Amino acid sequence: MIAFWHSYKAEFLKNKHGVFLWTHIILPFLLVIFMTFYRFGKLNDLALFDYFFKAIGFFFPIISAVLCGLIADQEKQAGHCQIMLSKLPHKATTFVSQLCMLLTMSLASIYLAIIIFIISMKCIIHINNINYLLYFKTGFFIFLSVIFLYSLYLALAYHFSTGVCIVTGFAGLIIAALASTGQGDGVWMFLPWVWPMRIVNFILKFQFKVSGEVLSAYTYSELTTGLTFMTVMTICCIIIYILSFHFWEGRQK
């Protein structure tokens, strides 16, 4: 555990001055600036909530792919990952700590966007009736839904290449666009790229009591099934991720 903690801190120190850190700071500001001006297009508060979180969920497949690719490429250029493979007795510890660092920055970036957005709504748009807890809970659910993607992308970036990782991210973006519509009904629980947007729809249906043709297929049983598949698939992906690096020698396939 001590080795993991030191490796985890080292990952932050390695990336504190690079593009990686600034990406997690700048993107939330850009999103909030866009949503703030978009509000003046006469979106109501509910639509603002919907578009804000769906924008986060929609772009996660490609953003996380690019970030994982950058991190893996950085390690390969520093010595073909041999430093990571040799600095700790258990090779997987280094890669697990790197995944945890990425997930920590992801959660921090989501919450930073939420905080800035709430400030914008209070001070610029002048919305006073804001359910703060719901915003942070929704952000946390989106974070849980993208753990699978980070595990998958980071493994692809190391075992194959950064290009494979990013291409998978673009493919995920297309899948998210298609499966977020009625075409994804009944199969969305098997598609990790669409989990964040589907979760937002379930929140709209059950928290805000939004009805309509689009949300008519959203039931409690489908939510339970979706969360079950999401949990099982995420756990399996993390286990495969750890095992894949336990026997890895740094060679790409």
Each residue's pLDDT tens digit, 182-194: 788 888 899 999 9
Give the chain's radius of gyration (CA, Å).
19
Distance from C-alpha of 214 to C-alpha of 106, rounded to nearest angstrom:
29
φ, ψ (nearest 5 deg) of residue 97: -65, -35
- What confidence score (pLDDT) does residue 183 get? 82
Distance from C-alpha of 166 to C-alpha of 149, rounded to nearest angstrom:
12
Q: Give, to the nearest 10 degrees, the angle between helix 45-77 and helix 91-120.
A: 150
- Does residue 253 belong to any structural domain of this protein? no
- Does residue 168 belong to any structural domain of this protein? yes
- Does residue 52 belong to any structural domain of this protein? yes
What is the reported pTM? 0.88
- What confidence score (pLDDT) does residue 234 get? 96
φ, ψ (nearest 5 deg) of residue 180: -80, -10
- Does residue 79 belong to any structural domain of this protein? yes
- Does residue 71 belong to any structural domain of this protein? yes
Output DSSP code: residue 87.
S
Question: With bands split at pLDDT 50, 70 and 90, how would you rate the model's confidence at 64?
Answer: very high
- What confidence score (pLDDT) does residue 93 get? 79
Q: 37: how many CB neighbours lie within 10 A of its CB?
A: 11
- Does residue 72 belong to any structural domain of this protein? yes
229-236 average pLDDT score: 96
Task: Please give the tally of structural domains in the chain.
Answer: 1
- What confidence score (pLDDT) does residue 79 get? 60
- Does residue 251 belong to any structural domain of this protein? no
pLDDT tens by residue, 41-62: 566 777 888 889 999 999 988 9
Distance from C-alpha of 134 to C-alpha of 119, rounded to nearest angstrom:
15
- What confidence score (pLDDT) does residue 80 get? 58
The mean predicted confidence, pLDDT, of the chain is 84
- What confidence score (pLDDT) does residue 201 get? 84
Query: Which of the residue ranges 33-42, 84-93, 126-135 has the most confident prediction, judged by mean pLDDT?
Result: 126-135
Give how far Cα 243 sits from Cα of 67, 229, 249, Å: 22, 21, 12
- What confidence score (pLDDT) does residue 94 get? 81
Give how far Cα 62 sits from Cα of 66, 123, 143, 204, Å: 6, 31, 15, 25
Give how far Cα 250 sits from Cα of 72, 82, 166, 246, Å: 11, 7, 20, 11
Dihedral sign of CA atoms 169, 175, 178, 181 in order: negative
pLDDT tens by residue, 132-190: 899 999 999 999 999 999 999 999 998 888 899 999 999 999 999 998 887 888 888 99
What is the residue range of 11's domain?
2-246
- Does residue 75 belong to any structural domain of this protein? yes
- Residue 151, class by beta-carbon neighbours within 10 Å (0-12 exposed, 13-18 middle, 19+ buried)? buried
Please say if the pLDDT value at position 71 is more than 60. Answer: yes
